[in-house]
Amino acid sequence: MSDQEYRCGFVAVVGRPNVGKSTLINSIMGSKISIVTAKPQTTRHRILAVHTSKTVQILFVDTPGIHRNTGKAMNKLMNRTAISALMDADLILFVVEASRWTEEDDDVLRRVIKSGIPTIALLNKVDNVHPREALLERLSEMALRHEFSELMPISAKKGDNLAVLLDAIPPFLPESPALFPEQMRTDRSREFHAAEVVREKLTLMLHQELPYGLTVQIERFEQEKDRIAINAIIWVERDSQKGIVVGKGGSRLKQVGTAARVDLKNQLGQPVHLELWVKVKQNWADNIKDLHSLGFDTPG
């Protein structure tokens, strides 16, 4: 097959927070590209997942959920990141929950329509729709909202209908040689992924709003003789949060470190020595300079 017949393009996966965008990409890729928790706004960055076959290279762009709570600079940047990815795509996958429609879904749909880019609407979490006959009603309702290029029910978690989705994508992509090496799976570094794994464990173990007030920064990531050594700082916004993250006698921090180390060892294929520190950076989530230093996409 010649390069001219090969297809390659960007597919933006968009939707409100917590509809299953990252789970969808991880299921398609067969490995964890983006961290996943039950809490909204877990994804904070644009993350590229590279899916390569003999005839097509699909560049999935995982995005933060487009949301209304934009009080802090970080939330504004997350929205801007998602909207920018949407506008640069060859195809949009608009992910919604099959069982409910919200005002934030309306917000995202308006962005999708404004873009004028071909869009496949995905009704995710179909296993939550009961009775099953109700799914036909949900599909009919969705079809009335906009003239989508295609409309599909899926379960990202269980993998239902994902093969059909993969077959539907290539016709929307331009004829182009592959943009990335065949073995490449993501544009993010191992250091970025290590920080995300630590943040995932923190998010799973902490309750209420605290996960939104912390971030993780890798200070050291080195290959030693028989292991990888990782030093990470967990930044919180206030002194009062530091004790919550550390836990009584350091118990929670130890628990987080153990869970992250096991996950990273499995993913990196070798032992990991992980050291964690908790430090305070006042109101980092509302400071553009701090956000830039912590790896967020910022203006200029």
The pLDDT profile of the chain, 300 residues, written as one tens digit per residue, is 444 589 999 999 999 988 999 999 999 999 999 988 888 878 888 899 999 999 999 999 998 888 877 678 898 888 888 888 888 899 999 999 999 999 999 999 999 999 999 999 999 999 888 887 889 999 999 999 999 999 999 999 999 999 999 999 999 999 999 999 999 999 999 999 999 999 999 999 987 667 778 999 999 999 999 999 999 999 999 998 999 999 999 999 999 999 999 999 999 999 999 999 999 999 999 999 999 899 887 654
Among 120, 137, 172, the domain-final residue is 172
- Beta strand pairing call for 228-236 and 7-14: unpaired
In a domain? residue 67: yes
CB 47 within 8 A of CB 34: yes
> Is 179 within a domain?
no
Inter-CA distances, 60 with 82, 192, 194, 221, Å: 13, 18, 21, 27
Residues 109 and 237 in one domain: no
The vertex-263 CA angle with 154 and 194, nearest 5°, equals: 95
Q: Which of 221, 234, 213, 222 is nearest to 192 (CA)?
A: 221
Count of domains in the chain?
A: 2
| β-pair partners for 97 | 124
pLDDT at 1: 41
Q: Are residues 209 and 64 in the same domain?
A: no
Phi, psi of 129 (to 5 degrees): -90, 120
Q: In a 3-state reduction of DSSP, which class is residue 275?
A: strand
Look up the domain containing 61 and give its range. 3-172
Stated as kind and residue range, the H or E segment containing 120 is strand 119-124
Task: Identify whether 180 is part of a domain.
Answer: no
Query: What is residue 296's predicted lDDT score, i.e. its pLDDT?
Result: 86
| End-of-domain residue from the set 146, 172, 198 | 172
Is residue 13 a part of any domain in this protein?
yes
Q: Does residue 105 sit within a domain?
A: yes
> Both 40 and 144 in a single domain?
yes
Specify whether 217 is located in the same domain as 113: no
pLDDT of res. 70: 65
Residue 267 in contact with residue 32, Cβ under 8 Å?
yes
Round to whole Å and give the CA distance between 246 and 242.
Answer: 6
Q: The CATH number of the domain where 25 resides is what?
A: 3.40.50.300
What CATH number does residue 246 fall under? 3.30.300.20
What Rg, from alpha-carbon coordinates, does the chain have? 20
Chosen domain end from 143, 172, 201: 172
Same domain, 52 and 149: yes
What are the C-alpha distances in Å from 212 to residues 99, 209, 246? 26, 6, 16
- Whether residue 124 sits in one domain with residue 82: yes
Question: How many alpha carbons lie under 13 Å from residue 196 in its C-beta half-sphere?
Answer: 23
- Answer yes or no: do 162 and 207 share one domain: no
Note whether 222 and 116 are same-domain residues. Answer: no
User: Does residue 298 lie in a domain region?
Assistant: no
8 A C-beta contact, residue 24 and residue 124 = yes
Residue 299 resides in a domain: no
Q: Are both 83 and 116 inside the same structural domain?
A: yes
Same domain, 55 and 166: yes
- C-alpha to C-alpha distances, 40 to 125, 170, 204, 208, nearest whole angstrom: 16, 30, 12, 11
Strands (E), 24-73: 47-52, 56-62
Residues 157 and 209 reside in one and the same domain: no
Domain match, 43 and 168 both: yes
What pLDDT sits at residue 41?
78
